[in-house]
Amino acid sequence: SRVSQAINISDLRALAKRRLPRMVFDYIDGGAEDEVTLRHSVDRFADYGWQWNSLVDSSQIDTSTTVLGETIAQPFFISPTAASRLFHPRKGELAVAAAAQKAGIAYSVSTLGSQTLEDIAAVAPDVPKFIQIYVWKDRGIVRDFMARAKEAGYTGCILTVDATVAGLRERDPRNGFSIPPSINAKTATQAMAKPGYLFDMFTSSPIGPANFESVDTGGRDVMAVINDLFDRTMCWKDLEWFVNEWGGPFAVKGLSTAADARRAVDSGASAVWVSNHGGRQIDTSVPVIDLLPEIRAAVGAGVEIIADGGVRRGAHVLKLLARGANSVALGRAYLFGLAAGGEAGVTRALDILATDVTRGLSLLGVPKVADLDGTLLRLCRP
């Protein structure tokens, strides 16, 4: 198939662009406002240059890593993203989770996921699974979601804190886009250009937040759900409630300052997740790779740090690890694969990155991924 010929994530992005209506592609590909954070997230990696260790036995490469207390085969895993069935109407999250299972890496399901917790767990029985929380104003809904997730075998909880309101993603209104998509002159024209996608969409069940079907969203689209139905009064004093209610490994996702990272740990979180939501929230934020050393210094060596944003190559994963992260989350890299070719496309994306990571560790003379540190990385352009 065409996905097997993709050599890098950029090739999968091109295939995704060919397959998806423009408004759906732009929803994955785009970012907030001037998309400065989005571009910097990718470009900043090149400003850090490698040195390498020579003449190290690299016949055995160990890429295994711990995330939220669980061991995974690679130093990366699936970040939570909304409504995967938009990009692959039949399978969505199920295609991604099945590929994660095959790759031996963790899967995270978004609050706004379009398949049920139970169906996802059934296709990924052997890999760690996490839930991501956006906080409904009705706390009972959150409590029920957590209980259901535990029952279904999810072991980690991720609270996303960088989305008090939805960022201004300007491509969406320009394309007439919403979730679920509404039919108007703009979207109809874009959809008509991709008959294969349209066929899949019309022959599958309607797309919505599958784990909250009983919640009355008043017909709102996803951005309006975020803006109207999620709790903006949330502050630090509330965090302990979530940590205790979950009672297991807990990450706070979307942290940016050393003081907040420290505070998350003091409130009981087991992991701090440094992220700018892939450039979809506040624009012109400091790239995550620049922040990691100060976050590491603030929380100390024993606390787990997860990082994400802009990862399109295995070398990007390795650079985030070298700067202080323990594991790295993927967003668009797997979504481009999903849109390009369902489960096979996600598998291709994960294979590309896994091969990159193994090759990179060999070339760096660091056979164990857990041994990477900042000594081989230098900021070449400030």
Contacts of 316 by beta carbon, 8 Å cutoff, 6+ apart: 42, 45, 310, 328
Query: Which of these, 154, 117, 116, 135, lies nearest to 247 by C-alpha position?
Result: 154
d(CA 73, CA 52): 23
Residue 277 is a catalytic residue: yes
What angle separates helix 22-29 from helix 332-364, to the nearest 10 degrees? 40
125 is in an annotated binding site: no
101 is in an annotated binding site: no
**CA-CA-CA-CA torsion for 169, 172, 175, 181, nearest 10 degrees?**
180
Apex CA 170: angle with CA 17 and CA 191, to 5°? Answer: 40
Catalytic residue among 40, 88, 277, 316: 277
3-state secondary structure of 212: helix
For ligand FNR, which residue of 81, 114, 115, 187 counts as binding (CB under 6 A)? 81
Which CB sits closer to ligand FNR, 93 or 367? 93
Q: Return the residues of window 131-170 that contact ligand FNR according to CB under 6 A.
A: 132, 160
Question: Does the footprint of ligand FNR cover residue 79 (CB under 6 A)?
Answer: yes
Question: Does the footprint of ligand FNR cover residue 275 (CB under 6 A)?
Answer: yes
Question: Does the footprint of ligand FNR cover residue 93 (CB under 6 A)?
Answer: no
Contacts of 140 by beta carbon, 8 Å cutoff, 6+ apart: none
Min dist. Cβ of residue 43 to ligand FNR (A): 12
Instruction: Concatenate the DSSP letters of all residues of 86-109 into one string.
Output: GTSTTTTHHHHHHHHHHHT--EEE
Question: Does the footprint of ligand FNR cover residue 13 (CB under 6 A)?
Answer: no
For ligand FNR, which residue of 209, 249, 278, 314 counts as binding (CB under 6 A)? 278
Which CB sits closer to ligand FNR, 75 or 278? 278
Min dist. Cβ of residue 25 to ligand FNR (A): 10
Question: Does the footprint of ligand FNR cover residue 310 (CB under 6 A)?
Answer: yes
Question: Does the footprint of ligand FNR cover residue 115 (CB under 6 A)?
Answer: no
- Asked whether 283 and 35 are in contact (CB, 8 A), the reply is yes
Which value, in Å, is the radius of gyration of the alpha carbons in the chain? 20
Q: Which burial class, exposed, middle or buried, applies to 202 when counting CB atoms under 10 A from its CB (0-12, 13-18, 19+)? A: exposed
Which CB sits closer to ligand FNR, 289 or 376? 289
Min dist. Cβ of residue 365 to ligand FNR (A): 27
Question: Does the footprint of ligand FNR cover residue 22 (CB under 6 A)?
Answer: no
Question: Does the footprint of ligand FNR cover residue 21 (CB under 6 A)?
Answer: no
The 8-class DSSP code of residue 132 comes to: E
Instruction: Concatenate the DSSP letters of all residues of 6-59 into one string.
Output: --SHHHHHHHHHHHS-HHHHHHHH--STT-HHHHHHHHGGGGEEE----S---S
Which CB sits closer to ligand FNR, 275 or 327? 275
For ligand FNR, which residue of 19, 194, 313, 332 counts as binding (CB under 6 A)? 332
Among all residues, which ones are annotated catalytic?
Answer: 277
Name the site residues for ligand FNR (rule: CB under 6 A).
27-28, 41, 79-82, 110, 112, 132, 160, 253, 275, 277-278, 280, 308-311, 330-333, 335
* Known binding-site positions for glyoxylate: 27, 134, 169, 277, 280
